[in-house]
Chain A
């Protein structure tokens, strides 16, 4: 195979032909004769860009067609005649940039020729927001793309395209960055992006085969365009604050509710700290008899959280010449966390360059180097402790140590103490991502493209845990653990692309081959008992070694693919593609999957009968699209096919000799099953049909793209729930179930202009999705999670599951008349008897009474962008909204119930009592005899919201002033984020990350909720 390819390449290279050429030059301007810089001027594979004066120069021969294209302008094609030498071109504004060329599946297409569902994101708009994270800036702009983020520094993100169609919903879309496939978009600066396309339907994504089922996001980074060096500088600085603070009890209130709880349980109140009196008494010290830790009334949220600064600086430099172009980008981004001492830093450098060697060969590279560091260690626990640590515990004791719990004061650590103690435990990593490629025009229209991509990530963490005292937690010893991880991803891509334009016919044929190899390893080591704790001493060799570990992983994928595009007179457009992929994750007999796709479009607006009709006056563009295709998913663990045993000092060894202190376990090392394999597991398949239309009205001022899709996922890969009798070992992924997603997506944009200088755009992204489980589990009926979710035939995926809570028992008669329920009583939650073994109410509350309690999935989500510019001012508002989803407010366990020793919400002061029967919070109780906290609708709340996510106002300095200082652009802006939300939900985190089906829509205290932010920024161009 390899030899053959080499041979063919050499043959192709030999066919390098020269032809008679002449130079054509001229200028490109707007209608009102303003020079246009950066216009792409293309003659076949020769490409150049206009400079600041709009000037260009390109080689051509008579009969060639030179194309002029520029984002936001209608393209112009110029036929070269022998007379043509100096040509001025005037370009007209195009509201919808239909002639923009976009990258879709190894080839490029004009936006107007798209047959599938592809959303093109205008990065310029997205960048008006000050999001340092690429994906965050896509939020609400792409119908069908649901993005959830959290407020963590270097935000956590979950992305989902067109509904949950897999049990592995943590499979992100496949990102194709300059042709290189990856799931990891970390370290990519949004400012380096030239264009971004989201391929949503199967036909568009099928060419990416095995990995396209979650959709594909194609990203092209910036290239040099202009003959004059272009420099842009963008910077912002802002502050984030917590959006919501939970109102928690103070030290006295905590004692009061505790006492009331004891009394309600018929138990004599008493507590080692609050005493045994009739009322709780706050003692002077909480650590009797030592008396070094005074009692306090600490507001932990106030102590732990801070207004967090965040900033970014981006520099972009680009330049193009006749036969070369380059782009250099530098980006520095620093985000502080809301929790003290947490932060995230990112520095990325990018260098893209391309050269023409002769007339037919282009050689180029895209390379980015990212350096990432951050301290997010322990933050989950610190976030939780910040809310529910007991207020009676002070920050520090009288000896200067961090204070912590004593006696009955629970198990939560001092969150500020840990955040401070661990502040220098910073994880660091770098990533080198890029490719080298060559394009060779073998014959006119026939182009070979070959690329090798590397994606190398190295990351590590040195975690030092010093000696400390923190209440009843303390350590007289210290330890250092160090971890190093390495991931190397190699991708080789070869494609041959033949395009032919003849008369009305437009043909493009592609054949390709892709080879992906991923290798990773990790090393970790621990040492303890360090003599000193200074940073200079924190090296493993300086301590007593206690353990080493490490592991490795490998994955391979090979794909072969082909695609045919045919267009007739821009009116009839067809496309067919097929891909065959092999993945190392499946057993030998199920390794390969084949993924076909078909699509077609009809541009009715170009038909003669249409042009002659009345409609043509208002409808400037109308196209119908239909597509069908299949994708796969192999995103399961490696070696899923194999059962294997692993040695583990942790769980398989035994001191068989009875020696008490064995350090060399060689003779008593055990092996136990670490993984159960399944050889018959095969690809998860997604079959999707898409119909849609694009319509442009009023000279394309109003443009609507609408799609309806039906997406069926079958042979879903699911980590089997095996009974305990099968024994241990990570459960294999098996194929079970079918899920259907169907939905409607619309992108409506309107570009308006008043007679004055006011321009305005309105963009609405509308998504509605209907998810339905057709069959699931080994018997096709259901899968239950140990948590609060169920996947059941006929419901949507992963609905909440539990008892229906019918309020609170108000009196003894209600209790007596209610069905049998363990621990029922006045003031306790009352659960509904809905079924017994025969499906009818049976007079007792048991497992059969659990039922679906609603879906965490939104029925409808929307994003609305309003942009206005007037003279030198611009303003933007961005609303987003989710409707119809439910949230499981897990934090109620802490805020609404006594029990596990931790602080509670102030709502408990108003809990149910015989004299306060209106309360929705059940009577205080220290025992859980009634299982009030079991999964029930008590924890469910509507998750619908409408939110003003961002508002921005900018001012650009007038050109007259700028000209004097030789600056082409200077804009300053101020932006506010997350400032206004309408919702019924009053919990902590309205937007839980969809990390897994078992935690879908669960808001918990360990979440990092959204923050409000105010940001100032600057955009400068030279």
Chain B
């Protein structure tokens, strides 16, 4: 009896399998490269590339943090494309609220600026996803995955897109493609010339010029997206002839057209696939709170504070200079040279202005989209004494849209399913006009394109007075350019001005000024006048060519151990 007890109890002590199997542990809830080596795996990696369009801040994947907790990568690139130009101020809770942006605005670009570091990081993660997808796609056969070739082309276009943005922002960077062995990316130096980098980018876009446009999978890139990106890349490299050819492919396709209602274009998710957007961040509100990352985070940064959405951080605030640019003469034409001689008052509704002003920019006293409680008040403008009374209005969803992430004034405020456009047909039309003017080829054709855009603005339903929907909210006037006096020089001013009016606050202005070679003169002139109105700009300066491009982030230089060489201007 006693011995039995002993045996039983001793047995307990040995019951656990003493076996080395316990050392073989595989990751839980995760997949290895091998398990992804098939059609479904390839599709999943391709989707992951697309997702970088909406989420350039891959914080969770870097360990810790929640998406959205760190919003330092704007799909719209407003911090790099608008903030450095004459179009906008930083905004937010004061000059020191996200001082990294404050420094970008006043032209202090330090290599340690964390915001620039995030731009670098986010884009290289995007590139890395593309390369990983390409590596996997290359390892499959067409038999394994019939759509393989098409997906390869899509991913290359996306990679080109991310690299082009890097190129717009940084003068130099290492170029890594799918042929670089995984793990050795850090040994690639930034020794390619700017022209070589552009060649790589253009080659990626060219890979996509045969992707069929079949109306399916609206969020994917197609041949017109590839051609539109080619237009941009050729313009950046001053290759107007090639840009023109690519623009014609898009414009002659008959696939895209200007929408008749600008307000819907700027506010209504239902209108986003109706022909004006060629390529956009495909925002979405499905999936509940944990899927908030799929909406457009730009909307949270840049929505007015205390306004119709409840909160909003009130960044990206239109400059007085930009507002003034909407003034028109008796013929409804812009004051190309004198627009900034006098200001439009914050609540001025009598001076003749282009009707697009009150669609793109919120002014006190003017009706806000579909918001019916009250017209805009001065309180919507965060830090109004510093950043003035204007707020960004375009590309913010209708307040009452069922596709807002919340129907209330709760966080995420203006977050919603409204796509953020990367390329619209209007940009390609203006690009073609630019090519025609610069090639001095068909100036009337250029005028016609510009006038098409102005005519749309003329015919769009205007913003109405809040209290009296039968009258316009302000004195809107807009006309088309006449043939008389349409010289190359005049046409050049006209297309440049039109692009500013039509595409303001969409992350383009600074890059345009730079490639037009007028960044320094334009921005110096802007600072000189604007600092009288916005005193904090007294500290602003434009030190060209140093600040034409961001420096390579110091942390990347440090980690690279001599592989990366800082932009010589820094």
Contact = CB atoms under 8 A, between A and B. Distances in A.
Contacts of B273: 658
A776 to B, nearest CB: 13
A900 B6 contact: no
B23 A591 contact: yes
Contacts of B96: 898-900, 926-928
Nearest to B284: A655
B284 A652 contact: no
Given A654-B50, A669-B47, A724 B124 contact: yes
B483 interface: no
Interface residues of A, number: 130
A588 to B, nearest CB: 8
Interface string A776-787: 001100001010
Nearest to A656: B219
A672 B554 CA distance: 27
Interface string B374-396: 00010100111110000000000
A477 B410 CA distance: 8
A288 interface: yes
Given A661-B284, A725-B176, A929 B188 contact: no
Interface in A889-938: 898-901, 926-929, 931, 934
A168 to B, nearest CB: 14
Interface in B49-104: 49-51, 53-55, 58-63, 66-67, 93-97, 99, 102-103
A656 B217 contact: yes
B285 A660 contact: yes
Contacts of B21: 556
Contact of B112 (A289, A657, A723, A847): A847
Interface in B416-442: 417, 419
A979 interface: no
Contact of B219 (A267, A472, A644, A658): A658
Contacts of B310: 472, 474
Interface string B105-129: 0101011101000001100110111
B249 interface: no
Contacts, number: 392
B16 A515 contact: yes
A472 B382 CA distance: 12
A661 B269 CA distance: 10
Contact of B535 (A266, A558, A649): A266
B160 to A, nearest CB: 17
Interface stretch (A194-202, A268-276, A759-767): A268-276
A357 B10 CA distance: 12
Given A288-B379, A473-B311, A654-B282, A928 B559 contact: no
Contact of A13 (B7, B44, B67, B176): B7
A1 interface: yes
A653 interface: yes
Contacts of A929: 103, 106, 108, 539
B36 A671 contact: yes
A492 B10 CA distance: 13
A973 interface: no
B14 A450 contact: yes
A278 to B, nearest CB: 13
A270 B386 contact: yes
Contacts of A436: 12-13
A668 B51 CA distance: 9
A721 interface: yes
Given A642-B26, A650-B290, A723 B560 contact: yes
B445 interface: no
Interface stretch (B238-246, B401-409, B473-481): B401-409
Contacts of B47: 652-654, 656, 668-670
A672 B129 contact: yes
Interface in A473-518: 473-477, 479, 490, 492, 494, 513, 515-517
A265 interface: yes
A6 interface: yes
Nearest to B30: A644
Best-surrounded residue of B67, B127, B131, B287 (most CB of chain A within 10 A) = B287
B290 A656 contact: no
A127 B506 CA distance: 67
Interface in A274-305: 276, 288-289
Contacts of A411: 93
Given A645-B32, A847-B554, A477 B406 contact: yes
B277 to A, nearest CB: 10
Contacts of B289: 479, 526, 528, 546-547
Contact of B10 (A9, A526, A656): A9
Interface string A98-141: 00000000000000000000000000000000000000000000
Nearest to A648: B60
B493 interface: no
Contacts of B48: 652, 654, 670-672
Contacts of A669: 44, 47
A647 B44 contact: yes
B286 to A, nearest CB: 4
B132 A673 contact: yes
Given A645-B36, A660-B269, A472 B311 contact: yes
B365 interface: no
For B19, B44, B108, the residue with the greatest tally of chain A CB atoms inside 10 Å of its CB is: B44
Among B218, B290, B310, the most chain A Cβ lie within 10 Å of the Cβ of: B290
B25 interface: yes
Nearest to A550: B29
B411 A475 contact: yes
A648 B51 CA distance: 11
Contacts of A515: 16, 18-19, 22
A408 interface: yes
A269 B385 CA distance: 8
Nearest to A663: B286
Contacts of A476: 406, 408-410
Nearest to A493: B13
Contact of B385 (A272, A494, A551, A822): A272
Nearest to A653: B51
Contacts of B560: 723
B364 to A, nearest CB: 12
A78 to B, nearest CB: 31
A822 B67 contact: no
A779 B186 CA distance: 14
Contacts of B409: 474, 476
26 contacts: A2-B19, A10-B7, A16-B6, A265-B536, A269-B385, A407-B305, A408-B383, A440-B6, A479-B289, A515-B18, A526-B290, A545-B288, A558-B18, A643-B33, A645-B45, A659-B286, A660-B285, A662-B286, A724-B556, A726-B128, A728-B62, A847-B554, A898-B96, A899-B96, A900-B93, A928-B103
Interface of B: 2-3, 5-7, 9-33, 36, 41, 44-51, 53-55, 58-63, 66-67, 93-97, 99, 102-103, 106, 108, 110-112, 114, 120-121, 124-125, 127-129, 131-132, 174, 176, 183, 185-186, 188, 217-220, 269, 272-273, 282-291, 293-294, 305-306, 310-311, 377, 379, 382-386, 403, 406, 408-411, 417, 419, 535-536, 538-539, 554-556, 558-561, 564
Interface of A: 1-2, 5-6, 9-10, 13-14, 16, 265-272, 276, 288-289, 357-358, 361, 363, 406-408, 410-411, 436-438, 440, 450-452, 472-477, 479, 490, 492, 494, 513, 515-517, 526, 528, 545-547, 549-558, 582-584, 591, 638-639, 642-663, 665, 668-675, 721-731, 778-779, 784, 786, 822-823, 847, 898-901, 926-929, 931, 934
Given A9-B14, A528-B288, A657-B219, 17 more contacts: A16-B3, A288-B379, A552-B29, A582-B20, A584-B23, A639-B26, A644-B31, A646-B31, A654-B48, A656-B282, A669-B47, A727-B185, A730-B63, A900-B94, A900-B97, A927-B536, A928-B96
List the 7 closest A-B pairs by CB distance, nearest first: A727-B128, A270-B385, A546-B288, A658-B218, A556-B22, A670-B48, A450-B13
